[in-house]
Structure 1
């Protein structure tokens, strides 16, 4: 395969950056995806409109606004490096102008609540995944959906999970997880009996020494763990096949679903905070506000009062 002109520049850029291994991996993933896109589009020397097209394509693939901003930030950093080091690196004048300069990060609305599944829809998704199981991948998908719906773990925590992270604590099976921004699996979630069975059913079918709890099973799967894009596409297809595509719920939406279902069943704000492992209860408050708004029906109450007042009274 023909090497793209940006590939050696990316290698040098990353080699010169003083960053942690986790940050290095994130930068490499995004820059590799960008170069793959350029190669597939036969673009050797991209301009600003090409980058915009790349970002729009990633959105259409299911990338969140937060992840899009990560991509913008990393591409800005990379192209600033090329512009500042154009002469030192012996680059053409095409790199003298920073093509990322006109592109701005999008504003995140932290109070905007993303779509969630109702209890009935969550059951529909779980039963669909269970009943269709035939291949290892389908057993894996069922276990992943079950895990995310009942414990509220993030997709990145699912992807990082390893077999050794499943441990017995006082007769309770738990999964130690490496949370967002963490460098070690130092928190855990409890595994219900049904979920334990789903995970065991999947692991029995595994004939490999892969340390990760969940992995890809196609012959050409590039890594021993599941990539973010793989999980996005997998979940998008699951929702379509289960007849839930119109809900627009993403993989991360299962975490929101777990929180709202816990509150609807009467769980306290504190138990929901612990379920989601939020540091501050204020972060969890958005779920409480959402559930309260959904359960409170002032519009219907107002309608009933108006119509009742308009109902002719019987003569005594």
Structure 2
């Protein structure tokens, strides 16, 4: 359905403000836009608008989402978008009240993240080194996988890395994350080696393209596509291909499971949650606490293996 012009204008203004003031990521703005359009369509069906909606209308919308079988996390995200829209509207004088301010959401279930074992990661890294047909692709794929596992970067951060941040055999990488926040992540020797090797090849490819009239790319992983760099979708497909080549179930492997593996393996080997929070770029420690199941398992093993009472029972 076509949204009433006033509600469409509210959404556009809100999203523009998110981009300008908070430097919200494009994917975040797109998600907010989809959620708010769905809410606007619900209001329009009941003869309401953003300006006339009551708290009961927001609650009715959430009930509708629940009845449709929508996941708890999705419902929580939609309420968050609605709350932020009305907070913006109140601050801008578009409304004198906030109908969503006292509505409590369904929360978010803290499910254990899917991850990979060290052996499975080794299989993926091995597939990156041998799986592609051309040497250039093998070097690029190896660099991608080494950087992802060594740093725990989000895939959007990885594929859009500027090449300027990676020159000179860096021990640390400056990564621009969500909301434009920057953080430093250290590089393991194997990742630095893969990076240095790939940059030599990447520069030769870029120079050859320049000789044919193309502009020099500013990205570590350039592409001829619209974005100018390897896309998230292409990398997603690539990592599935590497899973098949490496004998790992493709269902287990996504860019995010490599991020989880980075955090899980660090924690299992003694890293603390605060350090992992910093490396992952989590704004809130509660987001990182999902990995404490690993710590729980390690502590349980310590007790079972080393406590004298357990030894006496055996």
Q: Which of 54, 73, 77 lines up with 2:35 in the alignment?
A: 73
Q: Which of 180, 201, 205 lines up with 2:197 in the alignment?
A: 201
Confirm or deny: 8 A CA contact 2:11 2:33 kept in the other structure: no
Aligned to 1:181: 179
Aligned to 2:227: 223
Matched, 1:107 2:102: no
Aligned to 1:116: 115
Confirm or deny: 8 A CA contact 2:184 2:279 kept in the other structure: no
Task: Identify which range, 229-238 or 157-166, moves more after superposition.
Answer: 229-238
Give how far 1:118 is off.
0.9
Higher helix share: 2
Which 5+ residue runs of structure 1 have no aligned equivalent?
31-68, 85-100, 302-308, 310-316
Give how far 1:116 is off.
0.7
Give how far 1:192 is off.
2.4
Structure 1 distance, partners of 2:186, 2:230, is 22
Give how far 1:259 is off.
0.9
Aligned to 2:263: 259
Structure 2 distance, partners of 1:116, 1:139, is 25
Give how far 1:163 is off.
0.9
TM-score of the aligned structures, taking structure 2 as reference length: 0.60
RMSD: 4.3
Structure 2 distance, partners of 1:71, 1:297, is 47
Aligned to 1:159: 159
Structure 2 distance, partners of 1:261, 1:292, is 14
Deviations 1:27-85 (A, max 9, x none): 89x6xxxxxxxxxxxxxxxxxxxxxxxxxxxxxxxxxxxxxx7685165268579989x
Confirm or deny: 8 A CA contact 1:113 1:290 kept in the other structure: no
Confirm or deny: 8 A CA contact 1:215 1:224 kept in the other structure: yes
Aligned to 2:83: none
Structure 1 distance, partners of 2:130, 2:171, is 25
Deviations 1:92-149 (A, max 9, x none): xxxxxxxxx9666521244111211111111121122123353433322221111111
Q: Which of 239, 242, 262 lines up with 1:238 in the alignment?
A: 242
- Rate the CA distance shift 1:172–1:163 in 2: closer, same or farther, 3 A: closer
Give how far 1:194 is off.
1.9
Aligned to 1:17: 12
Confirm or deny: 8 A CA contact 1:270 1:281 kept in the other structure: yes
Structure 1 distance, partners of 2:266, 2:33, is 33
Confirm or deny: 8 A CA contact 1:162 1:212 kept in the other structure: yes
TM-score of the aligned structures, taking structure 1 as reference length: 0.60
Which 5+ residue runs of structure 2 have no aligned equivalent?
47-62, 74-107, 207-215, 306-312
- Rate the CA distance shift 1:78–1:127 in 2: closer, same or farther, 3 A: farther
Deviations 1:212-264 (A, max 9, x none): 112336xxx34302333222222222222222125623211111101111122
- Rate the CA distance shift 1:294–1:76 in 2: closer, same or farther, 3 A: farther
Give how far 1:175 is off.
1.7
Give how far 1:179 is off.
0.8
Paired residues in the alignment total 240
Instruction: Look up the SS of the partner of 1:175 in the other structure.
Output: strand
